[in-house]
Structure 1
């Protein structure tokens, strides 16, 4: 008997998936355990292993198409089986869902506003859609909402000014209509990043601490180690930084923590997330128990997970449960930057480029190598003195890195 195959939930946060590749075509035989398709989730691209056998009779989502979890993907049944009833059922359900979605969108677009507020907004030049919802319990936009918006964005124009702005806007609209723009849909990963980082930025009160580190000895340590290692084993500066971070976290457990509704959770384990740039965005594979691993073990694991992240073969469990995150843009020549905290972490370290500059040593000026690092902190958990102590500990370790090998 024919069976409808639905979009599986391949991660705990997955709401929809995109078909990257169908490994079977209509008419092919499929067996339990076969990889039917490759599906991009909000975290990674994963193989969809089928748990039934039969003939692939229908594909409902084309390559590149996106659908929500539990929505129909395909139909598998017996060879020559009549599935017209199932197809008509799917078509009916699809039509009904479109009608519901259309009605929901109409309801969302409807903006409730008082006549006075509407008149004020028009006079001042505030687009009502920018406000969307008022502060009153039922969300109705009132005079008070217009005044708040006006003060927030420092809008202060009279009627004459407004007509001038409207004229310019009309000209801009006419010019832009003659230009071509490129539009492309958000990928599942990009939507996940947007949601996650927006939630972090507006939930955790961020502040930033920056320190400059003399990395001359770190450069020499890396050089000495790499002279004794094979090409595949070469150590990077990032490997050394992550190892030093794990030591510093062990000495400052209040940094290795998360904010919970009723408590602060300090972790006994140290799992460091490493921010990796990929085609569609950013992935943060996690190196677990870094304080218990050698520098060479950390280096090998990072190389493996970075490679699989870029090829979208990293597994969801490998990008979960970090307790601290490191983001390094030094290889791109960026000397200083700040990062948004990767919640539920309480902080993230931003690592800049190593640069040559004059430094003072023993009351003498000489050319040295320095690196700026910035710690983004969640002020609910980490006070300034706590964050500063962690950074000074890290600075000490990186300025005399031989101690991290002991």
Structure 2
């Protein structure tokens, strides 16, 4: 009996998920535990493993189509096995490119008439798979001008790929002044593939639909820049003593508490203490009001293969450096395993993002709105620094603070950033 492949529930609040990518085609052999697809929701994207050995008999949900958790998105079984009483090769429903798998089930005709053999005037009535439609829109193709090779003339992903790889020649000049005027005032049709793909590109350009977590990130980052007045301040903190303290404590913490202390743990503690002293930075701009928080819910950005998430340490002001370290590592691991619920990704009052591991110095982090601030951490660099009259080798840490100028001005933001610097340069304050 065929085994159902279902859309998993990625968090308690998940209402819809989609297949970002099928790694297998219908008829391909699969092994239990093998990754067969990438599954994404608005918050998380993860791999989907095959629940059984066999072949992928049928793909019931194409790439990019949203369905509720628990929906059957495919079937795995033995070659020729029936799915729901129908042979796999003739089963109803769309394949990975959105066309009927067996070609025997025609698309439903529009209300009030039959399907015309000619392309309809409106794009929404054209028979085209969801993935093919998204690819055509991204490439600027007029789908009314595409020729479908799927059943009943349906436009498939392969048809769009062919159109992108073989753009039509540029249209001839208008035959009259009236036509030229119509063209110049925007009366012409949608841009063709020739205008969408830069001239000189003869090889096929991959088109990647923006779905799942990538789509959410794109929307949030754009909205953040559109809906706030962002300014970034930078400085360096001398963390020479902090690194020495971290090395001293690391072995003891590992042995007695099974916690590996990192510089990020100390930075988090310094930020929390500074936010308690400079509460205007621990705020949010919501509905023309500045909400100043007594608690600190600290967001820590975590980079994933498919994007970025910001799990939240609630009431971080109640934690010691050791406790913060445990929380940071636990949440980061859950994020990488796709185990975070939506509640763990909401409600932060301030965020830290660290690109030091990539050798980055200063950068401009984008606010995690409606928060008023986000701290970017760069890579520690060894530099010569004068201490009095002597030149010493010191470890300097780049810090980049982006803040919402609607909430506070440059001076109080600079005071907060200076407070973080002072705390890092007097590291024993962070453990007492």
TM-score range, shorter chain: 0.5 to 0.7
Matches within 5 A, 1:255-404: 255-404=281-430
Confirm or deny: 8 A CA contact 1:273 1:284 kept in the other structure: yes
d(CA) in 1 for partners of 2:414 and 2:390?
Answer: 27
Query: Structure 1 pair 13/202, CA: closer, same or farther in 2 (3 Å)?
Result: farther
**1:234 and 2:232 matched:** no
d(CA) in 2 for partners of 1:172 and 1:82?
Answer: 49
Residue 254 of structure 1 aligns to a residue in which SS?
helix
d(CA) in 2 for partners of 1:39 and 1:402?
Answer: 45
**1:216 and 2:240 matched:** yes
- Could you list the runs of 5+ residues in structure 1 that have no partner in the other structure? 22-36, 49-57, 131-165
1:93 positional shift: 9.3
Which of 197, 202, 215 is matched with 2:221 structurally?
197
Which of 181, 188, 205 is matched with 1:181 structurally?
205
Deviations 1:79-118 (A, max 9, x none): x9989xxx79x98997769998715999x999xxxx99x8
Confirm or deny: 8 A CA contact 1:189 1:281 kept in the other structure: yes
Aligned to 2:71: 73
d(CA) in 2 for partners of 1:341 and 1:270?
Answer: 16
d(CA) in 2 for partners of 1:170 and 1:325?
Answer: 38
Query: Structure 1 pair 172/385, CA: closer, same or farther in 2 (3 Å)?
Result: closer
Aligned to 1:43: 43
Deviations 1:37-64 (A, max 9, x none): 995211125899xxxxxxxxx97326xx
Confirm or deny: 8 A CA contact 1:322 1:345 kept in the other structure: yes
Using the TM superposition, name which of 244-253 and 259-268 deviates more. Answer: 259-268
Query: Structure 1 pair 102/171, CA: closer, same or farther in 2 (3 Å)?
Result: closer
d(CA) in 2 for partners of 1:94 and 1:311?
Answer: 41
d(CA) in 2 for partners of 1:15 and 1:170?
Answer: 32
Query: Structure 1 pair 121/365, CA: closer, same or farther in 2 (3 Å)?
Result: farther
Query: Structure 1 pair 369/74, CA: closer, same or farther in 2 (3 Å)?
Result: closer
Query: Structure 1 pair 8/230, CA: closer, same or farther in 2 (3 Å)?
Result: closer
Residue 253 of structure 2 aligns to a residue in which SS?
coil
Confirm or deny: 8 A CA contact 1:356 1:369 kept in the other structure: yes
**1:245 and 2:271 matched:** yes
d(CA) in 2 for partners of 1:326 and 1:71?
Answer: 32
Aligned to 1:61: 61
d(CA) in 1 for partners of 2:197 and 2:265?
Answer: 54
Deviations 1:192-211 (A, max 9, x none): 10001000011111111111
Aligned to 1:17: 18
d(CA) in 2 for partners of 1:302 and 1:326?
Answer: 11
d(CA) in 1 for partners of 2:267 and 2:222?
Answer: 27
Confirm or deny: 8 A CA contact 1:212 1:373 kept in the other structure: yes
Confirm or deny: 8 A CA contact 2:11 2:339 kept in the other structure: no
1:329 positional shift: 0.7
d(CA) in 2 for partners of 1:339 and 1:129?
Answer: 36
- Could you list the runs of 5+ residues in structure 2 that have no partner in the other structure? 1-5, 23-36, 49-57, 74-82, 87-91, 94-99, 127-132, 143-176
| Structure number having the greater helix percentage | 1
1:9 positional shift: 9.7
Confirm or deny: 8 A CA contact 1:215 1:369 kept in the other structure: yes
Residue 233 of structure 2 aligns to a residue in which SS?
strand
- Name the Cα RMSD after superposition: 4.5
Confirm or deny: 8 A CA contact 2:11 2:341 kept in the other structure: no
